[in-house]
Structures are given as C-alpha cells and as structure tokens.
Amino acid sequence: MVEARITVNGEETPLAPAPPHTTVLDFLRERGLTGTKEGCAEGECGACSVLVARPGVDKPTDWVAVNACLVPAAALDGQELVTSEGLATPGAPGTPSTLHPVQEEMAVRGGSQCGYCTPGFVCSMAAEYYRPGRRALAGPGSPAGSGDDTGSDAGTGPGTACDAEHGPNGFDLHALSGNLCRCTGYRPIRDAAFAVGAPADDDPLARRRDEAPPAPVATSYAQGGGVFVRKETLAETLRLLRERPDAVVVAGSTDWGVEVNIRSRRADCVVAVDRLPELRELRFGPEVLELGAALTLTEIERRLGGRVPLLAELFPQFASRLIRNGATLGGNLGTGSPIGDSAPVLLALDASLVLADADGEREVPLAAYFTGYRQSVRRPGELIRAVRVPLPLSPVTAFHKIAKRRFDDISSVAVAFALDVEDGIVRTARIGLGGVAATPIRALATEAALEGRPWTAETVEAAAPVLREEGTPMDDHRASAAYRSAMLGQSLLKLYARTTEAVSS
C-alpha cells in the first residue's frame, strides 16, 4: 500500500501517525506551520484557511481556499496545498523572505493588528488574487494596480463592475465572506484587497494553474482503529457501503468536520466521495439539468455562469465562499436539515434526486425525499448521485433568505419562488420553504391559491395570509414562530413588488 502523503508548500509530507479524524489544521500545526489558526473550529471565522489545488473552471487548476479546521487531512492524500507560510518567496540564507503581493498590501495598508486572523485572510485573498477571469477595471491613477488576469469569463462575471462588493481590480469581496477580524476593522483589509494587481508572469503559483491538478488517489488510511477510505469508482464505493452501512460518508466535510471538532464524534470508517468522477458531472441538456452531487457549490456556480437565475441568487447567500468551496448539494441534502438553504430552491425548481446503491439507481422527487427531522427515504448504503432539474425553467423566480446577517449566516426562514406567468395569469407556482417545519416543504396551499389566477396585487394580497399559515414554525434563538410566519407573507408581497417593478422599468 502506498503511504498517504500531502504536498505542503512544495514538500511531500506523510500523514502517519495522525489518526484518521485529524483535521488539516491540526496536521499542519503539528508540523510547525502555525500560521494556520483555530478560531472557531466550525468553519465560521476563516482563521484556518489554506489553498488547495483543484480542477479549474477556466484553467486546468484553480487555487481554492478551504477551511482547514473542517477537512480531514486524509482527504487530501495525494493532493497539494499551500499555507500562508508558503506564499512568501524564501530569501537567500541570512536574508528575509519576500512577501507575497497580498501579504505586502495587507502590511502596508494596516490590514493586520493582532495578526491572529491575518494568515486566513491572506489565503482567502490569494485564492481570489489567482482566480482566472479576475479583471482589473481601474483606469490610470486608480489604487487597483495595473493589468488583468484574463480568462474565458473575463469581463462577464461577478466583479466586472465597481460597487460596494467588487473592487476596480475585479476583486470580489465575497471571497472574504468567511473570514472574521475582531480588532483591525474591515476597511484596511478591503483596501488591501482592492489594491492587489495581477500576478506577475514569473509567479510560480500563477504558472501552476496551467498544469493539471493532482489526480485523485485511492486511499485506505488506517491508524488507531479507524480508517479513512476513498475508492476509485462509484461502483467500488457502493459495494463498500453495502459491507459497511455504518460508515460516515463525506464530501466537503463542512458538516462532519463540525461534529468531529465540537461534539468529539469519531467514526470507525469514513468514506470520501468528493472526487468520484461519477458524482462530478454537470450536464445541461434540452430537457434536464443534471448536477453531480459531489460538485462543490462554487464549481456549480462558476460552471453554470448564471444560466439558472434561482441558483445564481442562492449561491452568494449560502454560507461563505470558504464553505461553498467545499460544500456540495449531495451533502446539504443528505443531512436532511430543515434549514439547509439548497432544499427550498431545489423544491421550487421541481428537482429530483438520483439515488444509487450497489443494486442500481432510482429517481425520487425532492418533494417526496424528506420524511421527518433529518430523515429521508434514502436507504442504508444508498448515495445521492445527482440532482436533476427539469427544463425549461420558470421565468419568475426569487430566493429570500431571512437571517441576522446578510452573509455567512443560518436562515431563520428561507423562501424560494418559481412561477410561470403567461398573459398575466399564474399558470404554475412552486414555492419551497425552509426553517418553518421539521423538513423543507412545498407551500402547496399557497401554490393552489395562486395558480389559475391573475398575477395582480389582489391575488397576492389574498395569497399572502395563506403563505403565513404554511408549515409549523417554532420559537428558537434565531426567531419566533410569529416572526417566521410574518416573513412568509411578506416574502410573497416582496416578490410581487419586485416583479411589477421590473416589468414597469
């Protein structure tokens, strides 16, 4: 058996003797790379972020920032990562290293005070610095530096216009939505982000993007009675799950990592599915869109390029960029959480799930998938292979997330709408709800109150009280039941107001 290893800052490093539950964060710190910090152990603060070489969208390789506190080190067997220490260029013996451009801007613009969060900010910032397609829009004399890093989507995607969340250098501040600072204040950090230029021609990490990332390797890493397994194919994985129905299945580990860190959960067998090619396909056909269950949300977002407006509205509100770089639709739906943000959107899109086990596949409508709190029709040994969305898409869509923070927060209520309005009549209506019942649900009564009726203020005002009565909302620390109900009704009124505003303009 080949020894499990990770390439860290250009050097191969063996995993042993770390137990299989060891996170990348602990793995690095035990080897003296203490720039990677633990702030929350939940993927909330970003102090632990590192760069991982992953299959690219516009180039062979993307440098992707992930939360090292959540990912098992064994999940990066055969992979390549860079820490904040690896960004700087080592100097000759007796001379200091040369700071990376991102590090330099953070230093000269006062973006670091106590320094605890700084390495994480730097790694997240570096991922955006190296994003293909990040285009500089600055004119002469602008603080954004010069040049651009053009890719196939240069000038067409997020970050191509200067606004509060996008710099004149094309820097998308959503790249830092998972990083928290408690002492410096965000203005100098934003200034540093908006000041970086394009990578130099001889930048080794920029050149690395033109080569293929490390291929996934089959892994069977056993230490201390536990084992972490990654098979080469879906068929092998499904046979293993039949033999080990007790195994924990992970992709981005954004949920399991919290269980390991906060609740000290351990598993005898963890099975990784994140690199299985059969779970990483995206097909946009004439009648159906199929999304592989192990594609990360960032990969889906960038590969779709806005072709599904409801998903495009969801992605910026789903956790943070750091989480979206690891989280998958399969994982979000597999947990069965009633407050997972993808479920309401996919319910509104009338999606179905392809479930696979060693005996074959079956397709289940998402509306029939959830059976109770964190329960579903998925059987032991069965995986979500893909999500299917029927086409064509409904033209009137919206996703409303009610939470205490604009970004990187858990929903109090989530509402997704998909309506077909023809000749002023609502022909079909699908409304997905999260946070108002033990499972994500369809607002069937409200759909019935809309369908066949004119899309007018009178219809909406009559249907809003129906929507307020959907589900069984509860009181908890995020919101009261009364508030949740009120937000449901307001959400429909908001949809109508914005729809008529768009038509009139």
Enter the tokens of residue 389. 């969305």
Check if the beta carbon of residue 293 is closer than 8 Å to that of residue 384: yes
Three-state helix/strand/coil letters over 387-435: EEEECCCCCEEEEEEECCCCCCCCCCEEEEEEEEEECCEEEEEEEEEEC
pLDDT at 172: 95
Write out the two tokens for 476.
């908890």
Find all residues with CB under 8 Å of 18, minimum gap 6, and list them.
Answer: 26, 27, 30, 73, 223
Integer distance in angstroms from the first to the last C-alpha of the chain? 65
Give the chain's length.
505
DSSP 388: E
pLDDT band per the 50, 70, 90 thresholds, residue 450: very high
Coil, helix or strand at residue 491: helix
State pLDDT tens for residues 73-87.
999 999 999 999 999
396 phi/psi in degrees, rounded to 5: -105, 105
- 2 pLDDT tier (thresholds 50, 70, 90): confident
Q: Which residues pair with 270 in a beta bridge?
A: 228, 248
How does pLDDT run across 34-57, given as a tens digit for each residue? 999 999 999 999 999 999 999 999
> Can you tell me the mean pLDDT for 348-377?
97
Total H helices, total E strands in the chain: 16, 20
Strands 288-292 and 352-357, sheet pairing: unpaired
**Residues pairing with 250 in the sheet:** 272
- Pairing type for strands 248-250 and 269-272 reads parallel
Q: What is the pLDDT of residue 137?
A: 57
> What's the pLDDT tens digit per position in 158-185?
434 567 788 999 999 999 999 999 887 8
Q: What angle do CA 259, 264, 266 make, to 5 degrees?
A: 80
Instruction: Reduce the DSSP state of residue 23 to 3 states and report it.
Output: strand
Asked if residue 142 has pLDDT above 50, the reply is: no
Calculate the average pLDDT of the chain.
92
Q: CB burial class (10 A; 0-12, 13-18, 19+) of residue 215?
A: exposed
Using CA atoms, how far residue 421 sits from 44, 251, 344, 350, 491, in Å, is: 40, 38, 20, 16, 18
Percent of the chain with pLDDT over 70: 93
Here the tokens at position 385 are: 């292979």
* Residue 187 CB-half CA count within 13 A: 0
- Residue 46: name the closest of 155, 182, 164, 153 by CA: 182
Six token digits for residue 279: 């779970």
Structural contact between residues 173 and 167, judged by C-beta atoms closer than 8 angstroms: yes
Domains of the chain and CATH, by start: 101-208 (1.10.150.120), 219-272 (3.30.43.10), 277-390 (3.30.465.10), 396-504 (3.30.390.50)
0.85 cut: is pTM over it? yes
* Confidence check: pLDDT of 1 > 70: no
CA 369 to centroid of chain Cα atoms: 22
Grade residue 488 by pLDDT with cuts at 50, 70 and 90. Answer: very high
> What type of residue sits at position 490?
Q
Separation of alpha carbons 442 and 439, rounded Å: 10
Tell me the three-class secondary structure of 26-74, residue by residue: HHHHCCCCCCCCCCCCCCCCCCCEEEEEEECCCCCEEEEEEECCCCEHH
In this structure, are residues 460 and 421 in contact, taking their beta carbons and an 8 Å threshold?
A: no
Q: Which residues contact 287 (CB under 8 A, 6 or more apart)?
A: 390, 391
Strands (E), 135-251: 219-223, 226-230, 248-250
d(CA 301, CA 263) in angstroms, rounded, equals 31
- pLDDT tens per residue across span 408-443: 888 999 999 999 999 999 999 999 999 999 999 999
Q: What DSSP state is assigned to residue 9?
A: T
**Does residue 345 contact residue 416 with C-beta atoms inside 8 Å?**
yes
